[in-house]
Structure 1
Amino acid sequence: MKTLTTVHITDNYLVNPTNPITVNLIGAGGTGSQMLTCLARMNQAMLALDYPGLLVTVYDDDTVSPANLGRQLFAEAEMGLHKCVALVNRINRFFGTNWKAVTKRYESETLRYLPDNGKANLYITCVDNAAARFEIAEILGAYKNYKSYERNKPLYWMDLGNSKDTGQVLLSTIGELKQPTSEKFVTVGNLPFVTETFKGLLEAADVTDDTPSCSLAEALTKQDLFINSTLANMGASLLWALFREGILLNRGFFMNLHDFRTQPLKVVDDKPEIAEQAAA
């Protein structure tokens, strides 16, 4: 009996798009501010490769405070501005993009007033508590059986989260994505949400102190200076593979910056009997 490698094949629309890939970046803090820069670099590379690129909307209702300077990508001159506005304005000026900022929390009430209810092909969450993830999962869960060929059809959700010097990234599909038949691989079209895969861990996560820091020095006692940028760059690398290679063996990873270790999270078939039949 031979064992076939389990993989996820990228949805065809992301491989051969007819329009820029729409992205909702939710959270513009430590990781979100770094991820936005990664997305801008990715967009520039895609355009150079004759790819339509990305169209990003950033959601965050928070403003820049002294504790954000240094660890997050904000300058003293941006104090008091909405984080998403400061970041998107800077990216648009530097890269010549036309990305958007929404100075609201990503929630059902906000989406009611947005064109097409704020749908996008790709959702990236960089939020700092489990409650927000469960709320977002409820919104995206409504799209799991969404039958449409519109260009903003929700396809993927990537969640990034971290503590002081550890973090994780997990890529999920929004519903079952059609996979091609293969004699070489076991293809998996459904990658469960982070709120399903790590439900118990998330439910226990919000018991820790989440009191806002008043200074950069205090903030650095809660999160390492480079945890957010490292996590964002590695997460962006996973996205780059999703777009450019069209096949994933890993859907995320755990990272320990203190020990300089990462552990990949393999794509796992949730229907083992199918894998056994394919390998026979």
Structure 2
Amino acid sequence: MNTENEILTANEMAKTRIHFTENFLLNPTNPITINLIGAGGTGSQMLTTLARMSHALTELNHAGFSVRLWDDDVITRANLGRQLFAESELGLKKSVALINRTNRFFGTNWKAETVKFERNHLNNLPENASANIFISCVDSVKSRFEIAEILKSLSNSGYYSNRSRYWLDFGNSQFSGQVLLSTVGTIRQPDSEKYETVENLPFVTEEFGELLKQSETEDDTPSCSLAEALEKQDLFINSVLAQMGSSLLWNLFRNGMTENRGFFLNLKSFQSQPIRL
């Protein structure tokens, strides 16, 4: 016969692990600030989904988003087709072309940064580095570790309304990829009898740091043509990741909670595996 303690333990084990969205993000006075880092295959797709999401949120009486896009790269012919750029934009900075187009289409006033999101030669943080949410769509492992260090520096600085809350990281190879949500520090959770609440979601660099280092490839040279680019990343891997990752972010705002902090995706086998809390 089970004792009372054993029954309580069983009930606790049966609880679903849930992370409740930081309350400030659900009903803000001003738009939520987002740093979107990387304007390539995934970043260019993410900017459009963020604009759609922001529009939908404002229609639901939310303040929406204010996005700053970071990328120092220039549009080349190899980018056409796989990334969201037109021939008329060749030679322009990726971040400028995308932000100008988005602002014209959606009536936003979002900003472009034509530099990398990294410390400068004096080891100072980037200007305008603070934001509520960080979304990284970068190619290199080194960039992820740099972002992680900057986030740690920002975690206890700034006013409450501009404090960093979440980091959503996108990564992919030719046919597969992953998206992982992290908290910047801890997010205070409400008391719950129904759920086991989770206040801290580790950085991708903390949880999968060794795997990231092992997966780093030596060939980071730019592609000279679309055909060559498709040998590194398939045509639809970036857009599928962007859509699914945006759905995770949308649920944080729409439902105020999540029981998944990301997913693994294999587009070749059409398989997706959620990453539970």
Asked whether the two chains share a fold, i.e. TM above 0.5, the reply is: yes
Work out which of the residue numbers 117, 123, 133 in structure 2 matches 1:106: 117
Number of the residue aligned with 2:138: 127
> Hey, what does 1:270 align to over in structure 2?
none
Change (3 A) 1:208 1:112: closer
Q: Cα offset for 1:108?
A: 2.1
Correspondence 1:265 to 2:275 = yes
State the superposition RMSD in angstroms.
1.3
The residue type paired with residue 84 of structure 1 is S
Q: Which piece of structure 1 moves more, 187-196 or 198-207?
A: 198-207
Aligned to 1:236: 246
Query: Quick check: 149-158 or 191-200, which moved more?
Result: 149-158
Whether 1:212 aligns to 2:234 is no
Q: Are residues 1:62 and 2:51 paired?
A: no
2:82 aligned with 1:71? yes
CA contact (8 A) 1:143 1:175 kept: no
Q: Which residue of 2 aligns with 1:151?
A: 161
> Partners of 2:90 and 2:107 in 1: how far apart?
24
Does the residue aligned with 2:134 lie in a helix, a strand or coil?
A: strand
Q: 1:40 aligns with which of 34, 51, 55?
A: 51
CA apart distance, 1:204: 1.1
Q: Specify which of 18, 24, 47 is matched with residue 13 of structure 1.
A: 24
Counterpart residue identity of residue 260, structure 2: N
**Structure 2: distance between partners of 1:173 and 1:119:** 15
Where 2:115 maps in the other structure, the secondary structure is coil
Letter in 2 for 1:102: E
Deviation at 1:210, TM superposition (A): 2.0
SS at match of 1:151: helix
Deviation at 1:148, TM superposition (A): 5.7
How far did residue 147 of structure 1 move?
Answer: 6.2
Q: Is the 8 A contact 2:42 2:239 kept in 1?
A: yes
3-state SS of 2:160 partner:
coil
Aligned length: 264
1:40-94, Cα deviation, whole Å (9 max, x unpaired): 1001111111110000000000000111000000000100100000000000000
Bigger mean CA deviation after superposition, 246-255 or 201-210? 201-210
After TM superposition, the score normalised by the length of structure 2 is: 0.92
Which residue, 151, 169, 183 being the options, matches 1:140?
Answer: 151
Mapped partners of 1:69, 1:264: distance in 2? 31
- Identity, % of aligned positions: 60
Instruction: Give the distance between the partners of 1:210 and 1:107, measured in 2 at CA.
Output: 18
Partner of 2:181: 171
Per-residue deviation, 1:109: 2.2
Unaligned runs of 5+ in 2: 1-9
Q: Which residue of 1 aligns with 2:208?
A: 198
**1:134-169: CA deviations, max 9, x gaps?**
01101101234x166532110000000000010000
Residue type of the alignment partner of 1:97: T
Tell which deviates more after alignment, 195-204 or 86-95.
Answer: 195-204
Instruction: Find the counterpart in structure 2 of residue 252 from structure 1.
Output: 262
TM-score where L is the length of structure 1:
0.92
Aligned to 1:29: 40
